[in-house]
Amino acid sequence: MLGYFDGLHLGHQALFEKARALASEKNATISVLTFPESPTLVFKKFNTDLFKHLTSKAKRCQLFEDNGVDFLYFTDFTSHFAKLTSHDFIANYIRHLSVAAIVVGFDYQFGSDHAGLEALSAYETYQIDKVIADGQKISSTAIRQAILDGDVTRANQLLGYAYEVTGIVVHGEARGRTIGYPTANIASKDSQYIPAIGVYVVDIEVSGKRYRGMASIGYNDTFGGKNKTLEVHIFDYRDEIYGETVTVYFLQFIRGMIKFDSVADLITQMESDEKTSREFNA
């Protein structure tokens, strides 16, 4: 199998389901050739968003393993790689493997000549139909847009799991503790997409244990903040965890950011957000 597989969403998972069935039938293993960065970097003018992923590197590898992949090969998508014709790709990559079968998506093309299934006629090849959700094709592009819009419910439906961001707990302004809502300020370790500004129901994993909480993504408008932050108030948790790596699972959007007239109004709203978060059933 060949592809970038950003997010390994439900559409990708349909490919792996077929691959697992074939591997069992043929007593074979599943191999994937993929890229550490998006192939788009080779074709578009650079901007930092091109470095962003739906999953951290560790999560991506874990998802491949969870989907039954036995051998995972990373190769850099370079100008040279992009110029390979389908014939060259088969000669340089596929022929070196003992291929029992090939599984591809409904719109699969490869090589600089954009070849389709006809170029793979020498191999037993299976093409998987596109996977639809609410009339829309499931794609990494649709998931990225949902996250940027703050619609994490939709993103999670298309992914088949809760969207997550991994990061290190760092020192912030420490204002939360002065109003009874201390927060863990999280700096993302990986170039991941951060959901839209707002307040979210989240779970957060600390030292292997998962806790419910509420996350705020924004600029601390009430206090005149200037830097975009990801902060999580962890319910019923009081330990200091600076320097620890944590994972935030986004479950539901609660509301957009509001600049409050007073700290008292902010606290009243946060009490309401907490109630919503505690009552949420994933």
Q: Are strands 198-206 and 125-128 parallel, antiparallel or unpaired?
A: unpaired
Give the count of alpha carbons within 13 A of 20, CB side only.
Answer: 12
List, in order, residues 6 or more apart from 99 with CB less than 8 Å away: 123
C-alpha 73/C-alpha 57 separation (Å) is: 13
What is the structure's pLDDT at 176? Answer: 65
Residue-range domains of the chain with CATH? 10-140 (3.40.50.620), 162-279 (2.40.30.30)
What is the structure's pLDDT at 222? Answer: 47
C-alpha 110/C-alpha 32 separation (Å) is: 15
Beta partners for residue 129, in sequence order:
none
Q: Are strands 209-218 and 198-206 parallel, antiparallel or unpaired?
A: antiparallel
What is the structure's pLDDT at 243? Answer: 96
Mean pLDDT of the chain: 92
Query: For 92-147, how does the pLDDT look when each residue is reduced to its tens digit (9 = 90+)?
Result: 989 888 899 999 988 889 999 999 889 999 999 999 999 999 888 999 999 999 99
**Nearest CA-CA partner of 49 in 6, 110, 112, 2:** 6
C-alpha 57/C-alpha 192 separation (Å) is: 10
What is the structure's pLDDT at 223? Answer: 44
What is the structure's pLDDT at 22? Answer: 96
Regions of the chain short of the pLDDT cut 70: 174-178, 220-227
